[in-house]
Amino acid sequence: MSSVLGSCTDLIPNLIWIVPIAGGALSVLGARAGGLVRNAIAVGSGLVTALLATSLFFISDFSNYTLTGKIYDDFTLCGSQATWIQALGLNAGVLVDPLTAVLAVTISWVSFLILFYSLGYMKGEKNLTRYYFLMTFFIGNMLLLVMSDNFLQLFLGWEGVGYCSYALIGFWHTDESKYWVGTLGEKTAGVPESYSPSQAGLKAFIMTRAGDIAFLVGILMIFAYSGTFNFVQLSKDLTGPASGDWAKSLSSVGLFVPSAILIFGGAIGKSAQFPLQEWLPDAMAGPTSVSALIHAATMVNAGVFLVGTVGPLYVQAFNNLQIVYPFFLTVAAIGAFTALLAASQAMVLDELKKVLAYSTISQIGYMMLGLGVAGLSTTGNFSYGFTAGFFHLISQALFKAGLFMCAGWLIHVTESKYMSEMGGLGRHMKITFVSMLIVALSLAGIFPLSGFWSKESILAAALQAGGISLVFYGLGIVAALMTAFYSMRLIGLIFTGAKSKNVQDLEQKGEHIHEAPLTMWIPYVLLAIATVVLGIVAPLFLQQRLGSLFSNYLANFSITSPYSFSIPNDIIALSVGLVVAVLGVAIGYFAYVRRSISPAAIIASSPLTIGAYQFFRHRWYINAFYYKVFVYPIIEGSNWLFTNFEEKVIDPINMGAPELGSDVSSLLRKIQTGIEEEYVFAFGIGIVMLIVLLVLFAHI
C-alpha cells in the first residue's frame, strides 16, 4: 500500500504540467459534444492543476530541503526519470523545490481564475475550441518550463509558451479595425502606432525569438563545458571532486560572463525588458483574458524565473563574487531602467490595456531589480533581494490579473478601449469599482495591501545593498511615484467625474451601463480579496515564511544568508516608499478625481513639459527607431530582391525550364511517326555509328 502511495505522490509533479495540456486536447474532442462540455473540460483541468500544485506543500518537506534529499528532484512518472536523448545522456524529469512549488501554485491558481473568467468574457465568440486549447496548452507549457529539471526541457516549455502567445495575441486574425491596438492614423516619426492582431502576434514572436536565440546559445555554451543540461548535476559538479570544473573552464576562456548575459537575453525577451520591451504593449490586440494570462500567470514571469534559477548557480560557482558581479549588475541596471521607462509611458496614455501593459513591464523591472541587487549586496544578504523579487511576482500576479479582468468588462460595456470615453462608471458598477480600486492601490504600493510590502521589500533590498545599488534605488523610487500617479489616474478617468459623451450616447441608445455577469466578477473580486489578505498576513508571518523557505533553498548553493525582514530594521525604506506612494496617489487624486489640478495646463506650461509629454507618449521613440532601423530596411530590401532578382532572374528560369522541356518534347515528338520502316532505318544508322565509334576509339 505504501509503495502505491509513493508512486502516486511521485506522479503528482508530472501531472501538474500534463493535466492542462491533456485538458486542452480533451477539450477539442469534447467540443463535438457541445460547447458546455468543452468549456467544462478546459476550466476543470485548470482547477485540477491548481489543486495538484497546492498538494506539493503537503507531500514535500521543504523545511529540510536538499537537492539530494527526499524532495522530488530528479524523476518523471512514478519515481524514475525517462531516457530522452540517449546520445547526450539526457533524461527528462521534473524538479520540485521551494521555488518551483511556489511558482506552480501561483501560476495554476491565477490561470484557473482566468479560465473561469473566460466563460463570461469569451461567451459568443467564434473559434472557442481553438481558444481553450491554446489557453490550456499555454498554461501547461508554462508549468513545464517552471518544473523542468534541465535547461533543454525548460527550453521546450519556453518555446511552447512563445508559440501560444503568438497564436493567442493574434486570436482575432481576421484583423477587423475594432480589434486593433493603438489609435488608427496615429504616427511617431512617420511610423504607425496602431497594429492589427496578426501583426501584433508576429511582432511578439519575432522580438521574443531574438532573446530565445541568445538563451539557446548561452545554454549550449554551458553544455559544451559541462556535458549536461541538468540543474542538479550542474550544481553537484561545483561541489564534487571536480569542483567548479565547468564554470571555471568557461571562465578560463572568458566565456562565463558572456554565457550568463546571453541566458539573461532570453529573460529580457520573454519578460519584455529593455531593449526588447516593445512587443508587450502591442500584444494588447489579443482578448483581455489572454492579456491577463500573459501578464499575470505566464510568459513574462518566465524570464524572472530563469534569472532566479541561474543566479544562485552562478554564485555557487565562484567564491569570488567579482566574477559574477557583471551578471547581477546587468540584471539590476536593466530592471531599474525598465521600471522607470515603462512607468513614464503609462502616465500619459489613454488606452486602458496599454497602460496596464506598460505597468507590467515596469513591475517586472522591479522583480529584476530585486534579483539583481541580491547579487550586489555588500552585506551578503542574497536571500533578501531574492525573496523580495519573487514575493513581488506573486503580488503582481494577483493585482495585475484583477486589473485586466476589470478592464475587460469596462471595455466591453463601454464599447471603447479609451479611458477618456468612460468616466462616471463608479455609480453603476460598484463591484467592479471597488475591486479595481483595491488592486490599483496595491499596484500603487499603498499600505497595507500586498503591493506595498512586495515593492518596498525590493527597494529596501536595493538600499541595503549599497554601492551602485543606491542609484537603482533612486530610479525605483521615481518609478514608484509614477506608478502611484497613473494608478489613481486610471481610477479617476474611469469611475469618477461626469460621464463621457460615448457613455451618454450608449445610454441614449438604450445600452445602459451595468455590472459584469457573475462568471466575470467573481474571479476579480477573489483576486482583490487575496490582495488584501496577502497584505495583512505579509508582515505577520508570510514574508518571513517565504524568506525562510528560500533561504533553505539557497543554502543548497552554498549561499548562507538567513532572511532578515523586520519592520524596525527597514523602517526608513518602508516609510520613504509609503510617502512616495501616497504622494503619487494624492497628485492623481487632485488631478483626476477632484479635478482641482489641470494636467493639460501643466503640460502646456512650458516647452520642457510639452517635450517630456510627447517623448513619453511616443514611447521614447524606441519603437519608431526599431521600425526604421530594422523593419523597414528589411522590407525594402525584400522588395528590391523581388523586383530585381525574383522577377528578372528566378522567374525567367522557373518559367523557362518548362518551356524548354516543352520545346524538346515537341521536337522529339516529330520523329515519333509510327512508321515501322523508319524506325528500322534509324536503328540501322545507330548500329553503323556505334561500329564506327568502336573502330576509331577501341585503342583508347
Quote the percentage of the chain above a pLDDT of 90.
72
Average pLDDT in the 66-71 region?
44
Q: What's the pLDDT tens digit per position in 597-619?
A: 999 999 999 999 999 999 999 99
- Pinpoint the alpha helices (H) of 415-538: 430-444, 450-465, 469-495, 501-508, 518-537
Q: Which of 60-64, 96-100, 382-386, 589-593 has the lowest mean pLDDT?
A: 60-64
Average pLDDT in the 676-697 region?
80
Q: What's the pLDDT tens digit per position in 479-532?
A: 999 999 999 999 999 999 999 999 999 999 988 889 999 999 999 999 999 999
Average pLDDT in the 450-475 region?
95
Q: How many other CB atoms sit within 10 Å of the CB of residue 687?
A: 9
d(CA 691, CA 637): 59
d(CA 438, CA 416): 23
Is the pLDDT assigned to residue 700 strictly greater than 70? no
Is the pLDDT assigned to residue 321 strictly greater than 80? no
Is the pLDDT assigned to residue 80 strictly greater than 70? no
Angle at 691 between CA 689 and CA 695, to 5 degrees: 115
Which region holds residue 175: left if phi is over 0, alpha if psi is between -120 and 50, else beta?
left
d(CA 259, CA 45): 38
Determine the pLDDT at residue 95: 87
Angle at 308 between CA 401 and CA 456, to 5 degrees: 60
Gap between the terminal Cα atoms of the chain = 87
Q: Which three cell numbers stand for residue 145?
A: 518550463
Please say whether the dihedral angle defined by the alpha carbons of residues 689, 691, 697 and 700, taken in this order, is positive or negative: positive
d(CA 74, CA 81): 7
Beta bridge partners of 181: 195
Is the pLDDT assigned to residue 5 strictly greater than 60? no
Q: What confidence category does residue 248 fall into, taking pLDDT thresholds of 50, 70 and 90?
A: confident
CA 116 to chain centre: 21
Pair 375, 324: CB distance under 8 Å: yes
d(CA 138, CA 24): 9
Determine the pLDDT at residue 84: 81
Is the pLDDT assigned to residue 408 strictly greater than 80? yes
Closest by Cα among 225, 218, 202 to 267:
218
Is the pLDDT assigned to residue 388 strictly greater than 90? yes
Q: How many other CB atoms sit within 10 Å of the CB of residue 318?
A: 17
Determine the pLDDT at residue 242: 47
Q: Which three cell numbers stand for residue 263?
A: 541566458
d(CA 665, CA 670): 9
Looking at this protein, which amino acid is placed at residue 349?
L
Determine the pLDDT at residue 4: 37
Is the pLDDT assigned to residue 342 strictly greater than 60? yes
User: Model pTM?
Assistant: 0.91
Quote the percentage of the chain above a pLDDT of 70.
93
The per-residue pLDDT of the chain, averaged, comes to 90
Class of residue 113 by CB neighbours under 10 A (exposed 0-12, middle 13-18, buried 19+): buried
d(CA 250, CA 22): 40
Maximum Cα interatomic distance, the chain, rounded to a whole number of Å: 115
Is the pLDDT assigned to residue 556 strictly greater than 90? no
Q: Which of 169-173, 417-421, 606-610, 649-653 has the lowest mean pLDDT?
A: 649-653
Q: Which three cell numbers stand for residue 210?
A: 531574438
Is the pLDDT assigned to residue 440 strictly greater than 80? yes
CA-to-CA separations, 336 to 9, 366, 468, in angstroms, rounded: 41, 6, 12
Q: Which of 164-168, 518-522, 561-565 has the lowest mean pLDDT?
A: 561-565
DSSP state of 351: B
Beta bridge partners of 83: 91
d(CA 568, CA 574): 10
Q: What's the pLDDT tens digit per position in 184-204?
A: 999 999 999 999 999 999 999
Is the pLDDT assigned to residue 687 strictly greater than 90? no
Closest by Cα among 230, 232, 211 to 278:
211
Average pLDDT in the 111-139 region?
97
Determine the pLDDT at residue 41: 97
Q: Which of 34-38, 253-257, 493-497 has the lowest mean pLDDT?
A: 253-257
d(CA 3, CA 10): 10
Q: Residue holding cell 484557473?
A: 112
Is the pLDDT assigned to residue 3 strictly greater than 50? no
Q: What confidence category does residue 133 fall into, taking pLDDT thresholds of 50, 70 and 90?
A: very high
Pair 221, 250: CB distance under 8 Å: yes
Average pLDDT in the 289-311 region?
95
Q: What's the pLDDT tens digit per position in 171-180?
A: 999 999 999 9
Determine the pLDDT at residue 237: 83
Q: What's the pLDDT tens digit per position in 664-673?
A: 777 767 667 6
Radius of gyration of the chain from its Cα atoms, rounded to whole angstroms: 30
Q: Provide DSSP, 181-202.
A: BS-TT-EETTEE--B-HHHHHH
Q: How many other CB atoms sit within 10 Å of the CB of residue 324?
A: 23
Determine the pLDDT at residue 450: 97
Q: Residue holding cell 460621464?
A: 499
Determine the pLDDT at residue 660: 77
d(CA 454, CA 538): 9
Q: Domain segments of the chain: what residues?
A: 2-617, 623-697
Q: Which three cell numbers stand for residue 155?
A: 527550453
Determine the pLDDT at residue 648: 82
Pair 89, 83: CB distance under 8 Å: no
Q: What's the pLDDT tens digit per position in 214-237?
A: 999 999 999 999 988 989 889 888
Is the pLDDT assigned to residue 74 strictly greater than 80? no
Class of residue 163 by CB neighbours under 10 A (exposed 0-12, middle 13-18, buried 19+): middle
DSSP collapsed to 3 states, 355-422:
HHHHHHHHHHHHHHHHHHHHHHCCCCCHHHHHHHHHHHHHHHHHHHHHHHHHHHHHHHHHCCCEHHHC
DSSP state of 177: G
d(CA 442, CA 392): 11
Pair 477, 390: CB distance under 8 Å: no
Determine the pLDDT at residue 318: 81
Q: How many other CB atoms sit within 10 Å of the CB of residue 599?
A: 18
Is the pLDDT assigned to residue 65 strictly greater than 70? no
d(CA 461, CA 450): 17
Contact residues for 540 (Cβ-Cβ < 8 A; gap 6+): none
Determine the pLDDT at residue 506: 94
Is the pLDDT assigned to residue 68 strictly greater than 50? no
d(CA 433, CA 425): 8
d(CA 438, CA 132): 29
d(CA 500, CA 70): 61
d(CA 678, CA 672): 9
Pair 408, 288: CB distance under 8 Å: yes
Determine the pLDDT at residue 69: 36
